[in-house]
Structure formats: structure tokens, C-alpha cells
Amino acid sequence: MIEINKIIQAPLFAKQKKRPHKNQIKDLDKAVREITQDPEIGTMKVGDLNRVRVFKFKSIDSLVLLAYEILENALYLYTFGAHQNFYRELKKYLNR
């Protein structure tokens, strides 16, 4: 089991976190806590996104995807959002 010592937000993640309502941010924070307790909870992606995991959670009756990566003992939070265009935007962000 991997122990997370540090959580790092990508600039895109930090920018996106300013937009949602407070109860959506609470759901997001709860999801991040779940990931820190069990980093392998998310689904490992294949192909261009092979190093990224995606964790799905509910927030206000909608499904939200959270993309992250574990390097050594650090949790890198890349982005979150609805399924629509999620993977395309994530791939564009990671390939910069």
C-alpha cells in the first residue's frame, strides 16, 4: 500500500476548483480524501493516458471524474469534471 505524503494540484485543477459551489467542493474534497486513503481506487487508463488514474464520484446527482497520478509518495491532481470532453481535454493538457 502506498502512503501519500504530499498532494500537488496542477494549475488546471486549482483553476477549476474555484468555480463549483461549496457543496460540490465538499464532495471533491471527500473524493480526494478517499484517494489518499487508497491511491489505487481509481481506474488506470490505457493508451495515451496510461500513467493516469480516474476516480468517479457523485456530486449533486451528477457523475464527476477526477484525474490523478501517483509518483513516489505524492498525489498529483490534474483535473476534474463531467464526462463530456473530459478525456480529450485531459490528453490535451498532459501533452503540452
pLDDT by 10s per residue, the chain, length 96? 678 889 999 999 999 988 888 888 999 999 999 999 999 899 999 988 989 999 999 988 899 999 999 998 899 999 999 999 999 999 999 887
From CA 25, how far away is CA 27, in angstroms rounded?
5
Is there a domain that residue 41 lies in?
yes
Is there a domain that residue 79 lies in?
yes
Residue 48 pLDDT: 86
Domain count, the chain: 1
Q: Determine the longest span between alpha carbons in the chain, in angstroms.
A: 35
From CA 55, how far away is CA 43, in angstroms rounded?
6
Residue 22 pLDDT: 86
From CA 80, how far away is CA 49, in angstroms rounded?
15
Residue 33 pLDDT: 94
Is there a domain that residue 33 lies in?
yes
Is there a domain that residue 1 lies in?
no
Supply the range of the domain harboring residue 28. 6-94
Residue 1 pLDDT: 67
Residue 72 pLDDT: 87
Residue 61 pLDDT: 86
3-state secondary structure the chain: CCCCCEEEECHHHHHHHCCCCHHHHHHHHHHHHHHHHCHHHCEECCHHHCCCEEEEEEECCEEEEEEEEEECCEEEEEEEECCCCHHHHHHHHHCC
- Domain of 57: which CATH number? 3.30.2310.20
Residue 60 pLDDT: 85
